[in-house]
Structure 1
Amino acid sequence: MASAQTLSCCAKPAAAQNATEVFAMLASNEDFSGGHDAPLPFTYQGTGEMVEFKTTDGQSSKAFEIKSNVRSDKYLLVIHEWWGLNDHIKQEAARFAKELPGVNVIALDLYDGQVATDADQAGKLMQGVKTERAQAIINGALLHAGPRAQVASIGWCFGGGWSIQTALLAGPKAKGCVAYYGMPEKDVAKLKTLNTDVLFVFAKQDKWINQEVVSQFEKDMAAAKKGLTVKAYDADHAFANPSNPKYSKTFAEDAHAASVAYLKKNLKLK
């Protein structure tokens, strides 16, 4: 992702600079892309609005924001799957806003306005993300939240890995991190800088974010002396996405309830 070249699923991990780049390589894997049917058509018509903020690379970014009904420095940054910031993600953001009263919810856009409607397009967008640009967007959102912000993050798939990166970038502002079947950070030195524990949700049938990946993350977090809770489900990748044919309502609802409970605890909500 840090370069314009096409990343191959067969490239050696050493060729990638970080965990999110390793995950981006999967976009070239036909089995991976084939496991993501196009999302069902949907138009979000609830509360919230698109906002624009400055990013730390001198540009700007737009995001979908639902402000708390009361003045609050508590924020949840929501990071989209490989499809981009579509209306499904806006609806998910609205769900969290309703269930987490007193929290401002911002769904970021790491694709700079582009949204995929098929797996081929999604793969190209995911591979096209430059690490530096994504970090600038996240850092811009953190500045938008303000110096006193208490920040939690959540994301799925592509966004799961970036949820962990968001917690790292947030530094002392980080109060919570939920990652659904995303590529974990592998650098123990970086993990040692986390200011929060992590709730990691994964699917036992996932061929990519599999038990081996999760076990290594458990070892790395233990070495970094950071808290990690793993919720495993006998399901497949993207099981929490209602528009995916492998969606499991039972498991998805359980994982969502666990995520909400975790976020309430970490953000110290009443």
Structure 2
Amino acid sequence: MAKILRNPALAADAAGQLHTVRIKTPSGRDISAAWAEPAAAKAPALLLIHEWWGLNDQIKAVAAECARLGYGALAIDLYGGKVAANGDAATAKSLMSSVQDKDADETLSTWIDWLRASPSVEGGVATLGWCFGGGWSLAASIRRPVEATVIYYGRVDRTADELRHLKGPVLGHFANRDANINHQMVAGFEAAMKEAGKACQLYWYEADHAFANPTTARYDEADAKLAWSRTLDFLKKNLG
């Protein structure tokens, strides 16, 4: 998969396998996402949440790979169609800062409801997000409890009262050299999960933030492969 993600042409080709779905939220906002149809008539589903770059071909290519592995995969968009070019941190930061928590919560819960109602989905739903999307993966699972939650180096500073809303276990991948999503934050999350009586598997890698993104200088191939293997094992165990 890393070979595809590193190559813009291959990533675009994989992204082209998805089709756009559009719906309205309960408040009347128009939202869209990219849907990768599962090979089977019915399959478990994954809700994928993009990094601060936005819903780009890379995330869509991951969704295509998840569909190849037997899941329905919905790559959602929290930026309303806007995407920062790879490496354009200033634009990415501006897009991320423009997200309103209330709207993002509604978008995520609306898409989870859509997956639950989809005739293609059977066997449960999981959320999966990276960086900015990692934090929203956890937020989505709090707002609309799902069977499993996967977080790649996302914000996890939540209280035990909030975490009691979780239904399924949480898998977290974190980096020792990450200055922001650090040991202090994750230790607080682990303690809060324990207080809430919720299960989690948290892994640390000798890497930096965004180590699983092949398009960045921080990419760590060995750790990215290990994290993805653990993610697939976790999803298989909790979704089938």
User: Taking structure 1 as reference, are residues 40 and 207 closer, same or farther at Cα in structure 2, changes over 3 Å only?
Assistant: farther
| 1:247 pairs with 2:215 | no
TM-score normalised by structure 1 residue count: 0.80
Letter in 2 for 1:129: V
Shift of 1:191: 0.3
| 1:262 pairs with 2:237 | no
Aligned pair partner of 2:74 in 106, 114, 126: 106
| 1:142 pairs with 2:116 | no
Alpha-carbon deviations, 1:174-195, whole Å to 9, x = none? 1110001000141211101110
Structural mapping, 1:52-71, within 5 Å: 52-71=22-41
Alignment partners' CA distance in 2, 1:264 and 1:95? 15
Q: Paired residues, what number?
A: 226
Shift of 1:143: 2.4
User: Taking structure 1 as reference, are residues 127 and 40 closer, same or farther at Cα in structure 2, changes over 3 Å only?
Assistant: farther
Identify the residue that residue 189 of structure 2 maps to in structure 1: 217
Structure 1 unaligned residues grouped into runs of 5+: 1-38
Identify the residue that residue 152 of structure 1 maps to in structure 2: 126
Alignment partners' CA distance in 2, 1:218 and 1:160? 16
Identity of aligned residues (%): 37
Identify the residue that residue 192 of structure 1 maps to in structure 2: 164
Aligned pair partner of 2:83 in 106, 110, 115: 115
Alignment partners' CA distance in 2, 1:123 and 1:195? 31
Letter in 2 for 1:264: K
SS of the equivalent of 1:97 reads helix
Identify the residue that residue 4 of structure 1 maps to in structure 2: none
Shift of 1:72: 2.1
Identify the residue that residue 12 of structure 2 maps to in structure 1: 44
Structure 2 unaligned residues grouped into runs of 5+: 1-5
Alignment partners' CA distance in 2, 1:265 and 1:160? 20
The answer to whether the Cα contact below 8 Å between 2:157 and 2:185 also exists between their aligned partners in 1 is: no
Letter in 2 for 1:260: L
Alignment partners' CA distance in 2, 1:71 and 1:40? 31
CA root-mean-square deviation: 1.6
Identify the residue that residue 3 of structure 2 maps to in structure 1: none
Shift of 1:84: 0.2
Alignment partners' CA distance in 1, 2:92 and 2:202? 27
TM-score normalised by structure 2 residue count: 0.90
Identify the residue that residue 204 of structure 1 maps to in structure 2: 176
Aligned pair partner of 1:175 in 111, 125, 147: 147
The answer to whether the Cα contact below 8 Å between 1:56 and 1:137 also exists between their aligned partners in 2 is: no
Alpha-carbon deviations, 1:18-46, whole Å to 9, x = none? xxxxxxxxxxxxxxxxxxxxx98555113
Identify the residue that residue 31 of structure 1 maps to in structure 2: none
Q: Comparing 132-141 with 220-229, which one deviates more in the overlay?
A: 132-141
Shift of 1:74: 2.1
